[in-house]
Amino acid sequence: MKVPAEIRTHCPYCNAHTTHKVKLASKGPRRTLAEGELRHARKLKGHGGKRAGKKDVVKQAKRQKLMLTCQQCNKKHELVLGSRTRKKAEIKR
């Protein structure tokens, strides 16, 4: 799936249609000490049968996001590509 490097879309900060620079949004670093992450680790600890997190879930597609930077106000916001896309998004030059 090819995505243009620049698109014209709504900016929630300017509240208008402006041109945006497009980048693929990264997941960011894993927050190993976050509350939910600790709770999840606690749940998986020890014996006591299979639990939801232990199963190997194979997902067919990923939710890919684009990071849009507004050219007017220089603020960033995200855009989800479809609901789930099977092909990897790449930016068209």
Name the residues that contact Zn ion, by CB under 5 A: 11, 13-14, 70, 72-73
Cβ nearer to Zn ion, comparing 44 with 73: 73
| Residue labelled with tokens 């220089």 | 74
User: Which ranges in 1-93 belong to alpha helices (H)?
Assistant: 35-44
Can you tell me the distance from the alpha carbon of 2 to that of 46, in angstroms, rounded to the nearest whole number? 45
Cβ nearer to Zn ion, comparing 40 with 76: 76
How far apart are CB 47 and Zn ion at their closest, in Å?
53
For the chain, helix, strand, coil in percent to 5 are 15, 35, 50
How far apart are CB 7 and Zn ion at their closest, in Å?
13
How far apart are CB 36 and Zn ion at their closest, in Å?
32
